[in-house]
Structure 1
Amino acid sequence: MMESWPSLDYAADKGSYESCHFALQLIGKLPTRLVPWINHGWHLSLQVTPRGYATDMLPGGSARSFHVSLDVIDMAIRVTCASGRQWDVALAGKTIADLHRDLKAALEEAGHPAPLYGAPNEMAERIPFAEDNRPREWDGDALCRLHGAFTCADRVFNRFRSLYFGKTSPSHLFWGSFDLAITRFSGREAPTHPGGIPNLPDYVTREAYSHEVISAGLWPGGGGVDEAAFYAYAYPAPDGLRDQAISPDAAWWHSDLGEWVLTYADVASADDPDALLMAFLQSTYDAAAKALDWPEGLTAPEPVVGRPARIV
């Protein structure tokens, strides 16, 4: 049975969303400093898990591996080691400075590197983690519902990913912008990206957009859309993209963002949310691929389990 799509309330829960975002920024600093760079920054992203969000495996002390996760059920940041041991850092009542201190201590006690210095990325305000003593909201129910939304979106994104024969990203959570994203590539190089994202080095953005992409994702709200919403865009953005017909009718072109937008509420309230979201993903891809003159024959009509969608 499919997991149900939970209700989200950005206005009521944005304080807890912001707290979660900052905690994920803290966790996300670890792979930036412990593993080699993977194209388009994919090594930086987090994965949606049944209990929250987690880094990939990281190299630890004494040649032992570990990963770090945010568990929304237990409301803790968890360090899980290859030895089977784990350390938990409770979230409730903590500031970001508290979490920075406690996570650093947990990693050091576990014998792992703890390069947690620095401050958030992709935010106009940049207070170092160790100095961010602002009170934080930690509503467990709000964070569980948000995780449930990301879990449902991740399921559909992975089905959508399976339809593409070209290079495609995983469905992964970027902690800088706090969005779950899935990206397809044509294989052609793109014009140099102008950069300019707050507190993000331009070389990161330019490497991420080194090749043509059609991307879609889900973010919890903010930045011009004050509710959770799905988005889709192309880089480079071809002329006339905003005028292309897409599905469903509830989706629209956001001129300021230069993206198509479909609210999470429209998806969650649909008779078949998975099918409605898939229609949005497929129709926006079709419109952008046509406008960019991408090669034909790169997609399969239906997901296939147990064998390749295209047998050579």
Structure 2
Amino acid sequence: MKEVWPDIPYTAWNETCSALHLYCQVIGKYRLARTPWVNHSWHATFYVDARGLTTSLIPDGPACGMEVQLDLLGHEVVVISSDGRIGRLPLLAGSVASFNRRFKTLLADMGANPECSCVPNEIPDGVPFTKDDVLRPYDAEAVARFFHALVQIDRVFKQFRTGFLGKASPVHLFWGSFDLAVTRFSGRKAPLHPGGIPALPDKITCEAYSHQVSSAGFWPGGGGVDFPAFYSYAYPAPDGFSQAGVRPDAACFDANLGEFILPYDAVRTSPDPDGMLMEFLESSYRAAADLGGWDRHTLECATGRPLHPRPVP
């Protein structure tokens, strides 16, 4: 029987995970180059769909649009044009440079404009895609397990998102840091962010954190943790945030990251994975909101249910 919350040990597929991250960056750069800017870089992200990840429709040309799907079950990139054409590119072991060439060729063959940056973001000492000739593996089984984990996480994150009336982000995957995230906003402006994120212009970071946030997400591993994990942080972090009583017991504050961390395996092996993850999301948000002086009475509501409109006071 297939695990609903699959085991996705990072060390077993970290090289494939790194390759998939970079392939997402190649595709993400195309969306970034063609899509008008939206607050907090929300225009550049991917979304979980029924077979993997999708860019949604990208405007490319006056009468044309392109959607790029990463089919993580069929292990191919699918480019769909609004004029009815479909192009396919298999996901295989190989180099980032080769993937970049094949993807750009496919875009051009379909009438899209493939011109975009080839410099990776948020990767220290990243190698331009065109020069990254390192041969990388592709573990299809591990990729499929990762996708099935994303489906479960996306579902719980979306449920959590329904309990907030204020400004909230979509549940989306940032290809720079390779994390699935959902963010709530208090409505107040934040102090200017100091920037300093590797390979990311400070002006982008400052715009992303222009307002007070409580943000939660999921990493498959890497970036300071060598295991799949959920995280939650506040910007600006209010006094006492690191000592807050965030639940469940498996959660802890990582001083190096400045974030609360909950190992994915603690959730996966719990008798109630949904409940444990929701407890982490809710308690870490409440810590940020209470210590940060958010107007919780105005901003919050009951979590949504199918076919039940929210009552209007």
Alignment of 1:1-312 (within 5 A): 4-61=4-61, 63-297=63-297, 298-312=299-313
C-alpha contact (below 8 Å) 2:221/2:229 kept by paired residues:
yes
Describe the SS at the equivalent of 2:231: strand
In 1, Cα distance between equivalents of 2:99 and 2:70: 12
Describe the SS at the equivalent of 2:69: strand
Describe the SS at the equivalent of 2:261: strand
What's the CA shift for 1:3? 8.0
C-alpha contact (below 8 Å) 1:189/1:212 kept by paired residues:
yes
Return 5+ residue gaps in structure 2 as ranges.
none
What's the CA shift for 1:302? 3.1
What's the CA shift for 1:74? 1.7
Aligned length: 311
Describe the SS at the equivalent of 2:67: strand
Describe the SS at the equivalent of 2:13: helix
C-alpha contact (below 8 Å) 2:59/2:66 kept by paired residues:
yes
Distance 1:176 1:155, change over 3 A: same
C-alpha contact (below 8 Å) 1:181/1:218 kept by paired residues:
yes
What's the CA shift for 1:62? 5.6
What's the CA shift for 1:239? 1.1
C-alpha contact (below 8 Å) 1:3/1:152 kept by paired residues:
no
Letter in 2 for 1:27: I
C-alpha contact (below 8 Å) 2:35/2:44 kept by paired residues:
no
C-alpha contact (below 8 Å) 2:180/2:217 kept by paired residues:
yes
In 2, Cα distance between equivalents of 1:47 and 1:115: 23
Letter in 1 for 2:8: L
In 2, Cα distance between equivalents of 1:309 and 1:270: 31
In 1, Cα distance between equivalents of 2:186 and 2:201: 25
C-alpha contact (below 8 Å) 1:300/1:310 kept by paired residues:
no
What's the CA shift for 1:76? 1.2
Describe the SS at the equivalent of 2:247: coil
When normalised by structure 2's length, the TM-score is 0.96
In 1, Cα distance between equivalents of 2:8 and 2:149: 8
When normalised by structure 1's length, the TM-score is 0.97
Residues 51-88 of structure 1 show CA distances to partners (whole Å, capped at 9, x for unaligned) of 11111211134611111121111211111111232111
C-alpha contact (below 8 Å) 1:163/1:309 kept by paired residues:
no
In 2, Cα distance between equivalents of 1:85 and 1:209: 39
Residues 17-58 of structure 1 show CA distances to partners (whole Å, capped at 9, x for unaligned) of 001000000000012111110000000110011111111211
Describe the SS at the equivalent of 2:296: coil
Letter in 2 for 1:109: D
C-alpha contact (below 8 Å) 1:100/1:116 kept by paired residues:
no
Return 5+ residue gaps in structure 1 as ranges.
none
